[in-house]
Amino acid sequence: MRNAVTPEVLELVIRGDYKDPFTVLGMHREKGKLIVRALLPQAVSVAVVDSSTGKKISPMQRWGVTALFVAEIAGKKELFPYRLEIDWGDHVQVMEDPYRFPPVLGDIDVWLLSEGTHHRPYEKLGVHPIGMEGVQGVSFAVWAPNARRVSVVGDFNGWDGRRHVMRFRHECGVWEMFIPHVMPGDFYKYEILTPDGKIQLKADPYAFRSQLRPDTASVVHWLPPLIASDQKRKNANALDAPVSIYEVHLGSWRLPQDGRRWLSYRELAEQLIPYVRSLAFTHIELMPVNEHPLDDSWGYQPTGLYAPTARFGTPEDFRYFVQTAHDNGIGVILDWVPAHFPADAHGLVRFDGTALYEYADPKEGIHQDWGSVIYNYSRTEVSNYLVGNALYWIERYGVDGLRVDAVASMLYRDYSRAPGQWVPNKYGGRENLEAIAFLRKMNEIVGVERPEAVTMAEESTSFPSVSRPVWDGGLGFHYKWNLGWMHDTLAYMHEDPVHRKWHHDKMRFGLMYAYFENFILPLSHDEVVHCKGSLIGKMPGDEWQRFANLRAYYGFMWGFPGKKLLFMGGEFGQYNEWNSNGSLDWNLLQYPLHAGIQRVIRDLNTVYRDFPPLYKRDFDPDGFEWIIHDDLDSSVFSFIRKDENGRFVIVMSNFTPVPRYGYRFGVPEAGWYREIINTDAVIYGGSGIHNNELLAQPIPCNGYDWSVEVTAPPLATCMLVKKEE
């Protein structure tokens, strides 16, 4: 039963401190009469207009000296559609009254949102241009259960929080409202009256589009259309598919020539995608494209998880980029950041005046390393927000996968915290059980709803079964970054070749755990920033040796079990450390050694895609076999990659600048062998030492009945295959 509309209630409505304005404003039957009330600051006069006839039927009287206008409708007993004719002083406007429309959320939506099982909350929360009762407008819905009042403010109401106070759905803590006449492209925010009486302006957590920084308003925009599942993409993302990833920061890959700060999504589609295709990469991974206020965060401090950053264009432009990639046979992976969010005032932090999206206790809710805020994964609404976001990018933009950043910081409550500065879980342990449950839920739902997509974990600890199914006790990721392999092998390559024999284990240790997880071998942006130098800068020796070392290392990496990832600039041996505010040093490609690195990457990717033994059994120990792993003095490694059909590729690396003539090693079968790639080739800037066709001889070696005698080029990797008869 509706509360009586007393003068005290009217005062609260006028002050914008009433939680259920729909019971007061709009048209109501009260004591046998039809009463219309409208709160319209700055209006000079208001009248009620019958929508069916367009005729003015009653003027509205100002209540005292306030902005509240009231009319008693004579001659009508039943509620009817009406409009308001408003004289603003300089013009007259006839408009729909938002307080005459019914609720936006249906009972099923309210139920699913309240219990945290609405897998796609973005379909109801946020803004949606819709028609209601034949009137076009926009529905708004935002979760803010502890707010005293929430209003929609924007250009359409002069940013006045009294004009569009929302309806509170106490069943699920959501405020909602349909506002006629609002259109796509309009700017808006939520004005929130907090429990302690403060007013704050917040961007929409579910906004599909945002203003370009430094402006922070949300932008009314259509929900992008659904993209159907694609079996072709599923096959391309599978564990037994070739996956070679080019990691990119869109803002600094290449800068426009006309002085603009960035290339647009469409320009990147026309320039970046053909470049990636020309180098035979299978996938491109984008550092976060979610809206973020600070350029220097590279996107890892997102404030708009549902909005592609406006730096490079519109949501439609980003969809065009993804579609162009797919048209060129290239998958798109997004960096995704559910581990933390920034404390910018317009963002999620203390959204309704309370710790809503984040843990309340700073020992749980503040990242010590980044000064950012940690999601409260125990809240079903927060988990829903994040899981829905994962599906959103896959279903609405067609992305192939999500690389989840900083997973280790999510898994452990004591991550980067001193003793006494963290809160144990309910069992007294250090694991964040809520975050673990969230990750499993996200991976399960993505796996069921969109099985063509994959998820990848950047996880830097030995947490078990990161890339094992949830039903098998794992976290459910498809892949895990092998950061241990990256650190060990880069440390080995940094050594002068004369000392490498003392560090031999760094190159072979990865095989001790290679099959515990489904690994990606990452040479990411993290290795070329913060005074770490470039990849070519980590290599020892004179200029020729540095380039030879890098080529040999790439060859070893492309032969080693695991999918591949290389950050932009590494494909041509950029000297300088990555600068996120500049451009890659494309001018270096005029020099043969840099062009040679680019060509070896192209050819390694081509060989990798053309020879299934190099990828088919990446995660099966039967797909790998050492030939030589203990020749410390020569710093030579040799191994076999095999597929399920008995085909194989032999990989041999010589990590010294000394050619090894007459070097014999075992092979599994008799016959002729040929090189399919040699990183010492002249076309790459090498010395040109190579092997012609090799005939296996019946000389036992390395446990095999047959062997070949080769010349191992200096600082080089070769791959051999048996010639088909």
pLDDT at 370: 87
pLDDT bin (cut points 50, 70, 90) of residue 1 is very low
| Euclidean distance between CA atoms 265 and 250, whole angstroms | 9
> Active-site residue among 405, 452, 618, 680?
405
Side-chain-side CA neighbours of 381 within 13 Å: the count stands at 20
pLDDT at 16: 87
Q: How far apart are the first and last CA of the chain?
A: 88
pLDDT digits (tens, 9 = 90+) for 174-223: 999 999 999 999 999 999 999 999 999 999 999 999 999 999 999 999 99
Q: Is the pLDDT of residue 258 over 80?
A: yes
pLDDT digits (tens, 9 = 90+) for 438-447: 999 999 999 9
For residue 440, give the H/E element and its range.
helix 433-449
Say which residues have a Cβ less than 8 Å from residue 125's Cβ, sequence separation at least 6. 113, 141, 142, 143, 174, 205, 206
Q: Is the pLDDT of residue 151 over 70?
A: yes
pLDDT digits (tens, 9 = 90+) for 362-419: 999 899 888 899 999 999 999 999 999 999 999 999 999 999 999 999 999 999 999 9
DSSP assignment letter at 578:
P
Tell me which of 112-116, 236-240, 539-543 is least confident.
112-116
Nearest residue to 158 (alpha-carbon basis) of 183, 187, 181: 187
* DSSP line for 278-305: HTT-SEEEESP-EE-S-GGGTTSS-SEE
pLDDT at 549: 98
pLDDT bin (cut points 50, 70, 90) of residue 551 is very high
Known catalytic residue at 405: yes
Known catalytic residue at 335: no
Tell me which of 254-258, 486-490, 618-622 is least confident.
254-258
| Euclidean distance between CA atoms 717 and 638, whole angstroms | 9
pLDDT at 116: 79
Contacts of 251-257 with CB under 8 Å at 24 or more apart are 251/295, 251/311, 251/312, 251/580, 252/578, 252/579, 252/580, 252/581, 252/582, 252/583, 252/584, 253/568, 253/583, 253/584, 254/583, 254/584, 254/586, 255/582, 255/583
| Euclidean distance between CA atoms 597 and 575, whole angstroms | 12
For residue 235, give the H/E element and its range.
helix 231-236
Chain mean pLDDT for the chain: 95
pLDDT digits (tens, 9 = 90+) for 443-484: 999 999 999 999 999 999 999 999 999 999 999 999 999 999
> Active-site residue among 458, 459, 527, 643?
458
Q: Is the pLDDT of residue 4 over 80?
A: no
Our measurement of the distance from residue 47's CA atom to the centroid of its chain's CA atoms, rounded to an integer in Å, reads 50
pLDDT digits (tens, 9 = 90+) for 19-54: 889 999 999 998 888 999 999 998 999 999 999 898
Q: Is the pLDDT of residue 2 over 60?
A: no
For a pLDDT cut of 90, what percent of the chain falls above it?
91
Q: Is the pLDDT of residue 3 over 80?
A: no
| Euclidean distance between CA atoms 149 and 191, whole angstroms | 8
Which residues pair with residue 290 across a beta bridge? 308
Q: Is the pLDDT of residue 691 over 80?
A: yes
Count CB atoms within 10 A of the CB of residue 226.
9
